[in-house]
Amino acid sequence: MATLGAHKKHKVSIVGSGNWGTTMSKLVAENVKANPNLFDQTVRMWVYEEDVTISKDSRHYDEASELCKGTQKLSHVINTVHENIKYLPGVTLPSNVVADPDLPSSVKDSTILVFVLPHQFIPRVCDQLAGHIVPFARGICCTKGVDVSEKGIRLMSEAIGMRLNIYCGALSGANIASEIAQEKYSETTVAYDPPPMDSRSPTPKVSPSSSQVDLISPSRVNPSVRSARLQPLPSDYPPLSQENVRKLFHRPYFHVRIVDDVAGVSLGGALKNIIALAAGFVDGLGWGDNAKAAVMRVGILEMVRFGKAFFEDSVKTSTFTEESCGVADVITSCMGGRNFRCAKKATETGKSIYEIEQTELNGQKLQGTSTAYEVHTFLKSKGVEADYPLFTAVYNILEGNVKPEQIPELIEPKD
């Protein structure tokens, strides 16, 4: 019944090809195959082109093969051996994943865009996409971060929506890419609140040619400044209901819970990285699990406080306390995520976290450090740093103003 009256299918593109982007391409490609009545069978993945070499210890190495003679383009290697040998080695990608190094080509005619990029690259990529996407496209942002400055705070999904004039939901959770790629069970949270102009019924009705829609709460009668002029999804496509969006991501090993709190899901994915840095600092001191638990407790409270203070009309406390994008993501990130690991190693070795980032992350970037700086700038502009002692402590540790050993004193409530 979900596709009654529809004869076109949704084409899906993945914008990004790091370990998380490649993992997302894998599970989405599996799902379009499982739902051929909803989705086009090819998933294009935009690849930031790089030169790579197939090493002798790779399962694809064959000294007689031209592919193994000298450097090759990453996109060519992915399409030939169906593996991202640099960012997700050892994991076979479905044959319907097509790597494309040309950004406009990778999104041509796609009605669903899945963004999986470091948050600092979102503005530039969106500017390059402008004018190259269908005007009624919809997005899902899997990027964990926020765009924060003294002027205010903007969600990544919101930034995408405003730059491209599309509605964009968010996906976030306790999601370590390598484990999901190996099909180890996990769960995630997808926030998607279909714009009213997009029919939620089996037989779509005619919608206006365009209208101003709030990107945080699309059903709001009077859109806020966080809005964009959207084109309705044509009625000859299956409706992008929460049910159909779930079908794009849910796998037997990757369980999806759908909510409508885009702000809460986005903030959880961003702010947990600051908490993970703090957990790494105390673990690097050898203080054990009790210390990590204390840091996590304070951090979750600050996440809730931040959301309710700056997105009071839409954020739900339950998003942080009950969903994978909240408490579960904090736990996972404070046990083994990259922000935790780099902060721990920096404390253990006495090196700066930026030195560790360069040597440990294979060219990828930490999200926690940039988010910590941006959040601090925002909180300082509001004069409320004291209300967020853990976030402020992490910033000051990164700046060298205080030491990790001072965390207990800094986060203790002041009478």
| Catalytically annotated residues | 272
Q: Is 338 annotated as a binding residue?
A: yes
Helices (H), 82-221: 103-106, 122-129, 156-164, 177-181
| Residue 414 vs residues 129, 350, 387: alpha-carbon distances, Å | 49, 30, 10
Q: Is 177 annotated as a binding residue?
A: yes
Q: Is 20 annotated as a binding residue?
A: yes
Q: Is 161 annotated as a binding residue?
A: no
CA atoms within a 13 Å half-sphere pointing along the CA-CB vector of 401: 8
Only one residue has tokens 């966080």, namely 226
In whole angstroms, give the CA distance from residue 398 to residue 354: 9
Q: Is 121 annotated as a binding residue?
A: yes
Q: Is 249 annotated as a binding residue?
A: no
- Residue 224: partners with Cβ closer than 8 Å, 6 or more residues away: 214, 216, 217
Q: Is 16 annotated as a binding residue?
A: yes
In whole angstroms, give the CA distance from residue 127 to residue 142: 18
CA atoms within a 13 Å half-sphere pointing along the CA-CB vector of 24: 26
Q: How many CB atoms lie within 10 A of CB 354?
A: 12
Q: Is 367 annotated as a binding residue?
A: yes
Q: Is 21 annotated as a binding residue?
A: yes
- Residue 188's DSSP bridge partners are 256
Token digits for 192? 């998607």
In whole angstroms, give the CA distance from residue 357 to residue 113: 29
Is residue 165 within 8 Å of residue 232, measured between CB atoms? no
Q: Is 137 annotated as a binding residue?
A: no
Instruction: List the strands of the sheet with 112-115, edge to edge.
Output: 97-100, 39-46, 10-15, 112-115, 138-141, 167-172, 186-191, 254-259
In whole angstroms, give the CA distance from residue 236 to residue 256: 27
Is residue 108 within 8 Å of residue 127, measured between CB atoms? no
Phi, psi for residue 172 in degrees, rounded to 5: -160, 150
In whole angstroms, give the CA distance from residue 376 to residue 384: 9
In whole angstroms, give the CA distance from residue 96 to residue 11: 12
Token digits for 217? 């709460």
Q: How many CB atoms lie within 10 A of CB 253?
A: 16
The residue among 209, 130, 121 whose CA lies nearest residue 164 is 130
Residue positions forming the annotated binding site: 16-21, 121, 144, 177, 338-339, 365, 367
Residue positions forming the annotated binding site for substrate: 144, 338-339
